[in-house]
Structure 1
Amino acid sequence: MAGRGDTAAGQLLGQRVLREHVGSVYDTYGISTLTHLGFVVVFGCIIYSQLLDARLLFWMAALIAVDIYVFFTPRWTPARPASESPYWARKISRMVTLVSMITAVVPWFIVPHENLPMTSLLMAVIVGSCARAAQSLWPLKPALFGYTLPMSLGMIIALAWQGDGLHLFLAAAGSAYLMLTLHAGVRQHRLLTDSLMLRFENEALAARLGDQIAATERASEEKTRFLGAASHDLRQPLHAIALFGAALENELRGRPESRNAERLMRAVNALGASLDTMLDVSRLDAGVITPSPQPVELDALFLPLNHTFSAQAEQKELQLRVRASGLWVRSDPQLLHRMLSNLMDNALKYTVQGGVTVTARDRGDTVWIEVRDTGIGIAPEQSHRIFEEFYQIDNPGRDRARGLGIGLSIVRRLSRLLGHPVQMHSRPGRGTHFRVVLPTAQPQVSALVGPFPAGSVELAARRRAATLPGRVLLMDDELEVREAMTSLLRTHAVDAHAVANEAAAADALHQARAEGRPFGLLMCDYRLADGVDGLDAGLRLSRYAGAELPLLLITGETSPDRLQRVRESGVPVLFKPVAPDALLQAMAELAPAP
């Protein structure tokens, strides 16, 4: 099968090359024929006036008749299919051979007269005609030989037939010129054919490459759609589990059974963190994350990083050194924190003994943040793959403790987004160090120095409880989500009314207005039943409420296009599974002032 496919492809390629050759020859077909006709008339009149040989008139008439036939006979055009190219190549080869054979007769009319000027003129005409033909007929070798050989051999034999030294010398010179002309013509034909073959092969390779790129893009789009759908479907029940778990944890607080509720929430949070990691990739690809560069004090950034990873290092009996530097950089503190978190997390996962060191070094206009470990290292052949999604070194069993293999992929995306190049050096068995290059910044007095707000958790909780809206309208097509949300909010003294669709939500808003008990917040799922767009529905309901009812969008979407649309709308959004604290904090921020 492969052999027949290759043969067919070779035949098709040969047809395309021949078509180009035929097109090149026929490109000058008309003007060449008319020029030859005019030259025959002029040249014939000159030699007839000198020799007065009546046979020349018959030769002229025959050659003129052939030229007229050649000019008016059907010819090749670009509209002709490539499969007809052999026919047109044979036709033009036959026609130029006929012209050359008629021309081959004229030396026998001129040379025997021993008129040296006319003989010299004849040789000049034939040599010039062969030179012109060698250039215009290079693409078709049969046409080149058919036009050049008859007239040249006719002249050479007529000269040699005279037998004297001068004519023999002229015949030898004509023979040498003929051989050189044909050699050059064959060589040029080969070069032209090879260049056309190479061009068409490159075009075919480019077309196949384009098809492969298109197929890869389609596969990537299908993967994105699949992951988006799968992520959404996983997030829905997980969101409900998280809300039910949080409500259960509140109800069991202070009782022995609360330990099981805490374990449940840790498992839910771990799964939610994995889904959030995949969501981060989609959000970065969608361009919905916009950095806000500002002066950042690295020591204030390093402190929470040290607190976050010290327990993980102690559990693995590793040393974690996060060294103060007093340096300031210009970056987005939230995104830079996430970038360094992923690098430190990756270093700790792949380090068995020794430790991890995080330092910052002043390098003039730049600052180097280096994360060094004494881990397993990275082989040179794997160094270009570590930033790929889901690729992990030395984890064939997909140990969940090592994550999903997306951390460094997020680092690469954040590096591009922030404009902070990441460099990597590693020696297998000796460890790895990553270097992030950032622009330096002048120290600030009132700059935002870290990604975490100041203040105690208890104070934030009291402030949040004081500002939660009294009534909330929830629109979600999932029954479990509605029940879980209302159960959680009621434990925080929030009157939650949950509906499944826009019509029920509109009725609830109308009834609340009639009773004089308006809702303080509308929470809406992005993807509703029957393909209804929750963002559009939420905006319509918000306007229907009269006063601008605050809208909070909750979604499990990871599609880059939809995330971009949410960002452009300016509506606050939370991503499922929503942590209860994050939900209550967002509700407090959107609640109308008392």
Structure 2
Amino acid sequence: MADTPLNQRVLREHVASVYFNYNATFLARVVFVLVLGAFMYLQLGDPMVLPFVVLHLTLYLCMYFTPRWNPSVPAADSAWWARRITRIVTLLGFADALAPWIFVPAGNLPVTAALMVVMMGNCARAVQSLRPLKAALFGHTLPMMGGLIVALAWQCDSIHLFLAAFASIYLFLMLRVGVQEHRLLADSLVLRFEKEALAVRLEEQIAATERASQEKTRFLASASHDLRQPLHAIALFGAALENELRGRPEEVNAQRLMRAVNALGASLDIMLDISRLDAGVVTPVLQAVQLDALFLPLNHTFSAQAEQKQLQLRVRASGLWVRSDPQLLHRMLSNLLDNALKYTARGGVTVTARERGEFVWIEVRDTGIGIAPEQSSRIFEEFYQIDNPGRDRSRGLGIGLSIVQRLSQLLGHPVQMHSRLGRGTHFRVVLPAVAPKAGALAGHFPPDAAAPRQEKRPGRAAPALPARVLLLDDESEIREAMTGLLRSHSIDALAVADEAAAAAALQQASREGRAFDLLMCDYRLADGVDGLDVGLRLSGRGQGGPATPLLLITGETSPDRLQRVRESGVPVLFKPVATDSLFRMMVTAASSERRRI
């Protein structure tokens, strides 16, 4: 139906309306013509009444019982059905035109008046029911009312001439009303079908946009995974090398290598943040937050960056409290502040908070390059950057404000932006104000799991590190790099490539009484094997006996897989893994499993 020309769709609706009206009033028409015939026969006693009634009943039955309109009729056949109903109602019009010649005797004004009322009423009904088809409207009313007008004028006396003139004026007005209503009905149908077509196109565009977004997410996830794999191996080899060169002149080169690895890892982590937010795996924990305690770490974090660019950074304490998730709010403000410092060459950046009724406005103002009005609607798009055609990496990837927008929607904190080109930009975050509460968060902001990677020098292995570790990974480079790193920190590490080898290693360790303290498993194994399922089977979780602690390591960033990992409850690290994060999570995974046992 959507491919049918608009004029055919309009005609089909018109035809359907006319047939519906006539079929719905079929019984009433039959009764009416029988009553009218009986009345006229009693009044006049004219035997011509019987042929009149038979003629009308025949036409009614032909229209009702010959091929009938139904909703399955193709729109292309509507013209044929329109011509059919037009011919039938035209014949009915000529049949009605016989009435005044049969039922209007000379000098009988009461019967004449009664017949005029009936025929004028029939004309009004025809306008109401036949207005969708203008040809049918004229084909029925003109013969019917024309017969009445000519029959009245045929009497040649003043009263009948007056009645003929009155009937003529009435016919003109009724046809004018019918034509106007026909146009209104046609226009309304055209608008309806155009809106339906627009709605269909809009749905198609939305579906195409969603498909493009999903394809982009899959592409980023795949590209991120493929980049994380070798980078993970480089990070592990580099960490082992840095540990071996500690205290030697070559340590400087190892540190430079790790800084470059950490910088690339930070870029991949930002893309991971987008995937985590799109996957819905980030769940806000709303609580009362003291803004002074939030602003303090912001000032410490970005003061060095501001000093390096010779900018003034003012983070003003307020004493206000808001209801939010402290980690996610900290991330929002960090991205806004980082973006302001990147695009400000002179002057400074100010962060303030002020109370406005039931809300608190946190405002980040800068004296940077500003944003042109035509670009203001695009700044929250992923990878969009203003005045960075060379993709200078020092200005980031263009994802920071996109993360801000997603966090804003997740937390329910609207973000407003005002900017003047060359004068600076002003971002405002609107949060609900709350009264200070005893025991509420006042100053502790541990690192967010989704926060940018920090460059830290790996320290020595903590005493609580697991003594024996089994690594399951299908890539030989990663197995070699991980075992080298763990052994350099006095950890007995065994690496295998598949589930069968891992199961054999676990059984042998159990027989020797030297069980593994931790099982580390890659999420994506060879031939598409699901590492999470394999790890759960090997660790023995939910099987009644003691379970081997499980730690999942993955380069996956696709939203559906992130959601699955989150629902499993298994601790997870994302590649490339920093050494300190690796050791910290190893201790956490092993100790949490022991507590569960």
Match of 1:542 among 528, 535, 539: 539
The match for 1:451 among 424, 445, 452 is 445
Cα root mean square deviation, aligned: 2.6
Code of the aligned partner of 1:548: A
How many angstroms does 1:510 deviate by? 0.8
What is the Cα deviation at residue 28 of structure 1?
Answer: 3.3
Aligned to 1:579: 578
Q: Secondary structure at the match of 2:176?
A: helix
What does residue 491 of structure 2 align with? 494
Could you tell me which residue of structure 1 aligns to residue 462 of structure 2? Answer: 465
The equivalent residue for 1:560 is 559
User: Quick check: 1:73 aligned with 2:54?
Assistant: no
Looking at structure 2, the residues matched to 31 and 495 of structure 1 have their Cα atoms a distance apart, in angstroms, of: 89
Q: Distance in 2 between matches of 1:60 and 1:496?
A: 106
1:467 aligned counterpart, secondary structure? coil
- Select the residue among 207, 211, 231 that pairs with 2:204: 211
Helix, strand or coil at the partner of 2:185: helix
The answer to whether structure 1 residue 477 and structure 2 residue 470 are counterparts is: no
The worse-fitting range, judged by mean Cα deviation, of 355-364 and 194-203 is 355-364
**Residue 434 (structure 1) shift:** 2.2
Match of 2:304 in 1: 311
Aligned position for 2:120: 127
After the TM superposition, which residues 387-426 of structure 1 pair with which residues of structure 2 at under 5 Å, given as runs?
387-426=380-419
Residue in structure 1 matched with residue 16 of structure 2 by the alignment: 23
User: Normalised by the size of structure 1, how large is the TM-score?
Assistant: 0.92
Q: Which residue of 2 aligns with 1:235?
A: 228
Classify the secondary structure of the residue corresponding to 1:591: helix
> Structure 1 residue 357: deviation in Å?
2.4
Cα deviation per residue 1:127-156 (whole Å; 9 max; x = unaligned)? 111111111111111111111111211111
Equivalences for residues 140-151 of structure 1 within 5 A: 140-151=133-144
Q: Which amino acid in 1 is paired with 2:332?
A: M
Report the residue type matching 2:140 in the other structure: Y
Query: What residue is the counterpart of 2:174 in the other structure?
Result: 181
Find 2:215's aligned residue among 218, 222, 226: 222
Structure 1 counterpart SS, 2:5:
helix
1:225 partner amino acid: R
CA deviation digits over 1:188-224, x for unaligned, max 9? 1111111111111111111111111111111111111
From the superposition, tell whether residues 99 and 351 of structure 1 become closer, same or farther in structure 2 (CA, over 3 Å): same
Q: In 2, are the aligned partners of 1:425 and 1:434 still within 8 Å (CA)?
A: yes
Aligned-partner Cα distance in 2 for 1:364–1:63 = 78
Q: Pick from 490, 512, 518 the counterpart of residue 515 of structure 2.
A: 518
Give the deviation of 1:436 after TM superposition: 2.9
Corresponding residue SS for 1:28: helix
CA distance in 2, matches of 1:352, 1:64: 92
- SS of 2:349 mapped into structure 1: strand
Indicate which of 252, 259, 269 corresponds to 2:252.
Answer: 259
Q: 1:247 aligns with which of 215, 227, 240?
A: 240
Alignment correspondent of 1:504: 501
- 3-state DSSP class of the match of 1:574? strand
The letter of the residue matching 1:331 is S
Closer, same or farther in 2 for the Cα pair 1:55/1:416, shift >3 Å? closer
CA distance in 2, matches of 1:169, 1:486: 113
Q: Distance in 1 between matches of 2:391 and 2:477?
A: 31
What secondary structure, in the 3-state scheme, does the structure 1 residue paired with 2:540 have? helix
Counterpart check, 1:268 vs 2:232: no
Residue 325 of structure 1 and its aligned partner are, at CA, apart by 4.1
The TM-score normalised by the length of structure 2 is 0.92
- Give the conservation status (yes or no) of the 8 Å contact 2:550–2:571: yes
Distance 1:510-1:76 versus aligned 2 partners, 3 A rule: same
Aligned positions, number: 583
- Which residue of 374, 379, 387 maps to 1:381? 374
Residue type of the partner of 1:103?
A: D
Is the Cα–Cα contact under 8 Å of residues 4 and 75 in structure 2 kept in the other structure?
Answer: no
Give the superposition deviation at 1:383.
2.4
Partner of 2:451: none
Residue 71 of structure 1: how far off its partner (Å) = 3.3
- Report the alpha carbon displacement of residue 63 of structure 1 after superposing the two structures with TM: 3.3
Deviations 1:362-387 (A, max 9, x none): 55654443322211112233223222
Partner of 1:3: none
TM-superposition CA deviations, 1:506-548 (whole Å, max 9, x none): 0110111122211100111111111111111111111089422
Distance 1:78-1:571 versus aligned 2 partners, 3 A rule: same
CA spacing shift, 1:165–1:443, aligned 2, 3 Å: closer
**Cα contact 2:2–2:197 (8 A) shared by 1:** no
Stretch moving more, 355-364 or 515-524: 355-364
1:239-288: CA deviation from partner (whole Å, max 9, x where unpaired):
11111111111111122222211111111111100110110111112121
Distance 1:533 1:59, change over 3 A: same
Are the equivalent residues in 2 in contact too, given 1:297–1:450 (CA < 8 A)?
Answer: no
